[in-house]
Each structure stands twice: as C-alpha cells, then as structure tokens.
Structure 1
Amino acid sequence: MVELPHASERVTVDDARAGTWSARLAGDDVKLSGRCPGCRHETNAVVALRTAALEGAAPDPPEELTVSIACHCRQPHSGRPDDALAGCGRFWNLLLRIGPDAVIVSPAGDPELDVASDAWREATAAQVTDVRNAAEKWIGGIAASYGLFGLAGVGIAKESVAALPLPGRIAVAIAVAVAVALAGWAIVDAYRAAYAWPVVSAVRDNDELRAWYAARRTVGIRAARHLRAAIRAATVSLAALMVVVGLIWFVPSKTVSEPLVQLTRTDDSRVCGAVVASSSRAALRMRRTDGETVVVPAGDIVAVKPVRSCPG
C-alpha cells in the first residue's frame, strides 16, 4: 500500500465505505470504528452529543444525526504537522440513525449539513479552551462591575445606616449579607470555570482509566455551568447592592426625639418638656409634650434633671 501524504481535505463516503463502520451509543457520546475512506487505515472516533461551546447542548440523543469524522489512524503520513498527533488529515460525513439498541451507519445524504457537522466536531474538540477563555474574560467583567460599586461604600457609611429606622437597618443588613455571599460565590465559580478545581486522581486499572477519561470529557460542560452560575450570582449580588443604596437614599430617616428635662420650681411644681431657644438669659423656655411653651424664670428653678418621658 502506497503511503498517502497528509492533507486536510474532505472525502466522499459511499455505501461500501460506510459499511466498514460500526457505532454504539455510550452515554452522551457515540463511539465509532472503521476504516478511513482516505488512507484506508483502521481508525476510531467519538462523537459528542453535547458540547459546552458557549451556546447550548443537545438534551437528548437525536434519532438521526449527520456527523463529521476525522481520521485518527496511528500510521505515518508524510507532511503531517507537528501538532497533529495522528491521522492522514482527511475528514468525512456519516449519517447515524440512533436507536435504543443499535446505531446504524450510512453515507450522509444532505450536503447542507456537511459544514454544520464539521463545526460541531470542531466545537466539541475546542470546548474546554473556548469556555475557559470566556471565563477568564468574565472574571475581569465581574471585577469591573464590583469596582463600580466601590463608591457605594461612601453611601453605605455607618452614619447613613444608623439614621434609618430599625426595619430599614435590618433590610440593609440582609441585602449586604446577600451581596457579599453572592459576590464570593461568583468569584469562586468564575475561577473554577477558568482554571478548574485542583483534584488528585488515581488510575490503577482500566476501569479507573475509563472513569477518569469519561470525567475528563465533561470538563467543558462543567466549566460552562460554573461560568453561568458565576454570572447569575454576580448579577444578583449587584442587584442586592442597588437595593442597599436605594434603601439609604429613599427610606426616610428615623425621627430623632428631642432630649427631655424636668424642672422643679421653688413652689415644688414641676415642668417637663424640651428646652427651646430663648433670647433671655434670665429665663428658660420649655416646650411641654402637649405643645405649649412655658417660660420659667431662672430664679424659680430649684433643680433640673433629664428624663426619658414626661408624666401624662
């Protein structure tokens, strides 16, 4: 057999060549094996029915699906790029009819789906890189959003919160707690999407190897989920901060009661109320709780003491 030089090109598959292929459904993947229609070497492929390529995922296996397959044979091919570990470079399309018990392989019959299936193959191959690159950019976006609310610290000063009535202070405390908790959640999930969570894996036999590889293939999907969770948490956290600012700006401040004092006069009578401004140094003006203002000469005052309330 003459060696076929490496070339990135589409080849056509007829019934005879499609007949060399077998396929089976394995979870969210279809595993195929057969001969490359270009170089005729034995090869295999795994077609993902779900991807985390930033746009969506197929929820259930379709009954009929056009797929794009690339050669991954281990035979030498001159001119193969250094970053291509296997294959002759050829790719082709097959039609899969997916049933509960078997997957039937036949030539693809709709040329319009060739480009779409090629794009799906490239998306599943690059899903981890694409999602993590997006997550790295979202980390900067989330940080910038929180930076805008750095000025909110001026509006959430202790004095501003203390001026609110008790229900307002409780609402502010709850909103701040929610904002801080969700902000932490958003940051952790965004970093998990971008850089993953450090784990230690042990592979001691083929079963553990298969389990590790199955988990490895879902990294992109899990990263996409973490990224979505981070964006949602950041959005709700910013909304909670806006609630805090709104409460401080629009909730009326609590009414500060005037200090009350009780005066005892020389005839043992008492006057209770709030001291008001007076232009005379020889008298003290008092506004009683009933609203009436009383002027008490300084010479009539025997004792002055602060009180919490005036007797009715």
Structure 2
Amino acid sequence: MTKLYDAHAHVGTDYFYHKIKNYEEFDFSLKKLLERMKKNGVEKSIVSQCPSIKEITCCASADIKIENKKIVTQCPKCKKILARLNHDPYRDYNIKIAREIEELGVKEKIIPFFIIHLQNPLIREEIDFYKKNYKNFGLKFHTLVSRRSIISIKEKMKGLNIPLLVHTGEETYCHPNELVEFSKSYKGKIIMAHAARLSIDCLKKVNQIKNLFVDVTPLTSFYRRIMDDDFKTILEKKEAFNQIRAPSDVYHFLLKYLDYKKLLFGTDAPWCDKYGLGYGSEVKIFNDLELNSEIKESIAYKNFDKLFN
C-alpha cells in the first residue's frame, strides 16, 4: 500500500447547517482527525478551519465592512451585527489550529491552510500577519461562505507564491472557471477544490495551467448524488455519467479528462462522513483502485509534494 496524503480536510465547528438549515452543527477536532489518519494510514493532511464560524453565520453568511477601524460582520438578511473585530474573523481559529499543531507535535503530519474571508478589505495585511509569524502554511479561500469570486482579490495577491486551496461550486462566484482565470496570473500553486464540480470543460482547462491542481473531494458524495440523480452541485450533464457504477468509477471519469499529474487525493473530512460514505471508505476506495503505480503514487502523494516545491 502506497503512502497517502490528504489534500483537503477541516477541523473545528461549522455552524452553516445548524444556523441556516437547522441541522446539527459539525464539530471535528484536530485530535479526531489525527485518530482517523492513524487508523486509515493517512500520513499527512492539509487542514483548515471549517468555514462557517459563528462570527459570520446567521440567516445567511455575513457581509464584512470596516467601521471605526473595526471589521464588522453583518447578516445580509436580518441585518444583525454579528461581530466587531480587530482582524479577520478567522484569525483566532487559524491561530488555534497552529497552536494545537505545535502542542501535539504534529508539524510533519498537519499542514495548516489559514482561511481568510474574501470580503476582508485588509486581506493583504492579514496575509502579511501569517507570513510574519508562521512557516510552512497555505491559504484557504471559501468562495461560497464569502460570497465572492476569487478574482475579486486578484490585484491583492500579486507577488505572492503561497499555496492556495480554493472552494469551487455551482454558484457564479464559485465557478471553477473563476479560479482558472485567477490562476493564470498567480505565481503559487493552487488546489481547485471539489474536482471542478466534474465539469469536463474545466478539467481540460486545468491541464493547460502549470500551477493548478484538482482535489477529488467529495468523491463519494459525488457518487451518491449521481446515483440519486441529484445534479444541483455538479457542473456536467447527466449523460456524462452513464458509466458510473461504483465510487471508483468517479476516479476513472476524472482521469479520462484530467492529467494524472494534476489530481490529488482528499477526504473533505468531516463532510465525507455526513454526505459521503465516510473517511475510511474514501481511503479504501483509493487504495483498492487498479491503476499503474506511477499514476497511483502521483495522486496519493507525489502531486501533493509539488505544492510545496
């Protein structure tokens, strides 16, 4: 069995489904993730805070503005002020993750990707804070929770080469094409989260961009949606998936259109437990894939290593 790295995992509490959709909130600690990794043979993970924190979650994801030198978060629907802060809403959560990594002695296993809100007018100053205080990290941008396109910060990212992980989805501001365009002018490596929403056109475009990679998440969630004829979050016609009969077929679908040197294994923990077949299944499905060793090792860890070289 080849070594395996996870390019997309989360920790912390997420309030999106609790406050907006009235489901139970997610709560997934770094210790729990490390236990899952050990049990399933995952040696290294990219980790970020769950995106819908309480400071920006109400009837909808909050807007951000500067008011009297404070960052103010406000619900766009009910207009409630959620927080007044001296810095980005995510900073304390990011610091907590970095501190836990240090305290648990897992720097070789966990790489933090510090999440920053795309509406933050002081986003470059926030990035400078992490550059000054931390080493061996990346940045995470969640376009859905921020309700902004990654292109909105294009000018502010000039001159940087920090690895990025960027959410993609079916919404206009989350669309994979937005990230394709952004990546053309960014110097660092970028992970396009969520397999370009299985868009054949977008997967083909990624092949032409040297610094852009794609993670497979949420693989088993995609499989379940395809089986249930639920294509709301998939950017491809139903007919494209006629050959999908098992979760492993989603890998073969991706590899049909995407260079294997661009694909990264990931779990999307803890969402894989809620909407997919579970963390262990994500790992087992990959380990059981019948691929030649070069392709399998590239997806498992070699492409991951390229993000930091």
Query: TM-score if structure 2 supplies the norm length?
Result: 0.21
Larger strand fraction of residues: 1
Greater C-alpha Rg: 1
Highest RCO, 1 vs 2 (Cα 8 Å, sep ≥ 6):
2
